[in-house]
A and B are shown apart, each in its own frame.
Chain A
Amino acid sequence: MSTPAIEVKGLVKRFDDVVAVDGIDLQIAQGECVGLLGPNGAGKTTTVEILEGLLPPSAGEVCVLGRSWATQAEEIRPRIGVALQETRFYEKLTVRETIELFRSFYRSGLEVDEAARLVQLEEKARAQVGKLSGGQRQRLALAVALVAEPELLFLDEPTTGLDPQSRRAMWDIIDSLKGRGRTVVLTTHYMEEAQVLCDRVVIVDHGKVVAQGTPAALIASLGGEQIIEFCTEPRLDPASLHSLPSLVRVREKNGGALLSVRELHVALPALLLAASQEGTRLVELSTRHATLDDVFLNLTGHSLREEQGP
């Protein structure tokens, strides 16, 4: 592989007395689709805005497409596409006029209608932005990011605030944009999104990289890829769980526990037996594959879905 699309060393960003990014190292190869996964306030957006050249770093080295923002911004900008977390495009312009405006800033790129078609907005091309739904607005932001046919595409929380159906439609579109040597960097706090779209996931918490790898490798790193969640009445003594076969980890929660196990078919009968021997009644029981959320929970002690302060 030639030069990496993005190379970051020791990136730090301070706002007054808050440290938003606290020493991040990152290397993203050309053609890769990488997700920065972390809860709100983890420093994802700040990191991406530094990569987009919108914020200067407080410390550290940032190299985008082999160039530096400080001295070669004019060479980077035409080659990247950006969808900010939320952009309110001018409401009285139509979809087509908005894309055309942004298209005019680039020497080369897609035809306006082609960009609208890529995000499935061709039928809304003549509608004013103010009349679009949330999902359509996000797709417009994507079309605007795509109109220059960028080598490097930044998508900051592309599906935040969308209903499940619009989110799925957006995933299909983003999935179709990968490949052809295009590098995609997206941030998200939805682990399903990272799992579905990304070749590689970088897990970020409190301004630091906690882990990175393919979704499968990260899940495998848990040791137990199956999860059993249960509740009993009365509460089952946690000590009686430690002898369960193929158990990797126990995490207690209200009235029950979350068990990471390697083999469901041996762990589950043993759990049922233990529960009845202890004289407790199972009120809830479910099993599932481990997800990136379990990885995150294991690494940080809190869930992706909990709101985190910066």
Chain B
Amino acid sequence: MRSPLWQLVLFRLRALYREPSTLFWIFAFPLLTSIALGVAFRNRDLAELSVAVADGPGAPELAACLEAAEGLRAERLPLEQARERLRVGRAALVVVPGEPPELIGDPTQPDGRTAKLLAVDALERENGRKDTRSYAAHSVNAPGARYIDFLIPGLLGMSLLSSGVWGIGWALVQMRHGKLLKRLAATPMRRGHFLLSFLLTRTALALVEMAFFVGFARLLFDVRVFGSSVELAGFGLLGSICCGGLGLLVASRSRTLEGASGLMNLATMPMMGLSGVFFSAAHFPSWMQPALKALPLTALNDGLRAIMIDGAGLEAIWLEGAILAAWGVLCYAAALKLFRWQ
């Protein structure tokens, strides 16, 4: 095929799949990150709280009663050792036999407070308290409500951002640094074809990235897409093209790889912390919220989460879409103005 556009796209594709490190950052890195974080923050059963029962008259009965209570584990120890356990955090509560028994614990520790409530409840029942009502309790642990469900769209957004910025920016700076851009500028190549070849390749890769994310998240963590997959792809592509513009802009003038990588880190790193990738951006103070909402990665993450977790349609995330589009227009306009072929 002689078409210059096709040849340029082939060039980009070959550069992509013949560079194993690129593939690592695009596919293996997010996969490993989500596995690590998914395991670290998985929802698991709470461990039983340890209660140290100090030696004394009635200690065996006390220990048996507490051991029988759900959520508690009791151990008999001399008083000094029991206090030591509490001090180093290996026991949540110390119970000293007596009439009534004495409870020693740290009420500012969640475990200490819970252990005290459970112990009092168990001892009261043992002492003959009658409950007036019984409650029906149901457990919830459904897909959509877990940390991993929150994390996956955030990681997808981050991945689209970094592969957009680095995928386009790094390639351009490398080509400028090696004078390949200058050499291309000496041919009749149409400048539009050149830009388009980057956008087409980016779009194709972004689709593969999204399919890969959604696929492994479903297989490994049972993360589901509650909204429409087509709308997810469409919104993700908008984000990907916007991030590509950011990459084009930061790489529009740099000649050195060092200078460019600094700029690209500057463009991506702060957003990874501020835009709700690993934790919700709502944790930041309220005066920061308008600024955070205006960041492209926040808009991308919020939109992806709305589609994946809340099952929202595109009409519900028009604002996020508009923010991304505005960033895209701004970046491309500035980049085309500033772009330097040598």
Contact = CB atoms under 8 A, between A and B. Distances in A.
Interface stretch (B6-14, B91-99, B122-130, B201-209): B6-14
B87 interface: no
B187 interface: yes
Contact of A105 (B10, B180, B189, B341): B189
B11 A101 contact: yes
Given A74-B188, A144-B183, 12 more contacts: A52-B186, A54-B342, A77-B188, A87-B179, A90-B11, A90-B175, A92-B14, A92-B19, A104-B6, A104-B7, A105-B188, A105-B189
Contacts, number: 67
A234 to B, nearest CB: 53
24 contacts: A54-B182, A54-B186, A82-B183, A82-B186, A88-B178, A88-B180, A89-B178, A89-B180, A90-B175, A90-B180, A92-B14, A92-B15, A93-B14, A97-B11, A100-B7, A101-B10, A101-B11, A102-B187, A104-B2, A104-B3, A104-B6, A105-B4, A105-B189, A106-B188
Question: Which residue, B18, B188, B189, has most C-beta atoms of chain A within 10 A?
Answer: B188
A78 interface: yes
Contacts of B187: 77, 82, 102, 105-106, 148
Interface in B159-194: 175, 177-180, 182-183, 185-189
A77 B179 contact: no
A84 B341 CA distance: 14
Interface residues of A, number: 26
Nearest to A141: B183
Contacts of A144: 183
A86 interface: yes
A53 interface: yes
A88 B183 CA distance: 9
Question: Which residue, B8, B18, B187, has most C-beta atoms of chain A within 10 A?
Answer: B187
Contacts of A97: 10-11, 14
B8 A84 contact: no
Nearest to A148: B187
Question: Which residue, B4, B178, B183, has most C-beta atoms of chain A within 10 A?
Answer: B183
Contacts of B18: 92
A111 to B, nearest CB: 11
B55 to A, nearest CB: 74
B3 to A, nearest CB: 7
A47 to B, nearest CB: 15
Contacts of A90: 11, 15, 175, 180
Interface of A: 52-54, 74, 77-78, 80, 82, 84, 86-90, 92-93, 97, 100-106, 144, 148
B181 to A, nearest CB: 10
Contacts of B11: 90, 93, 97, 101
Contacts of A106: 187-188
Query: Closest 10 A-B residue pairs measured CB to CB?
Result: A88-B178, A92-B18, A104-B7, A77-B188, A104-B4, A82-B186, A105-B189, A105-B187, A87-B183, A78-B188
A101 B180 contact: no
Interface of B: 2-4, 6-8, 10-11, 14-15, 18-19, 175, 177-180, 182-183, 185-189, 341-342
A220 to B, nearest CB: 37
Contacts of B8: 101, 104
A88 B180 CA distance: 6
Nearest to A98: B11
A104 B8 CA distance: 9
A86 B11 CA distance: 20
A171 to B, nearest CB: 23
A103 B180 CA distance: 15
Contacts of B183: 82, 84, 87, 144
A78 B4 CA distance: 14
A97 B8 CA distance: 11
Nearest to B1: A104
Contacts of A104: 2-4, 6-8
Contacts of B342: 54
Contacts of A86: 179
A150 B270 CA distance: 50
Contacts of A89: 178, 180
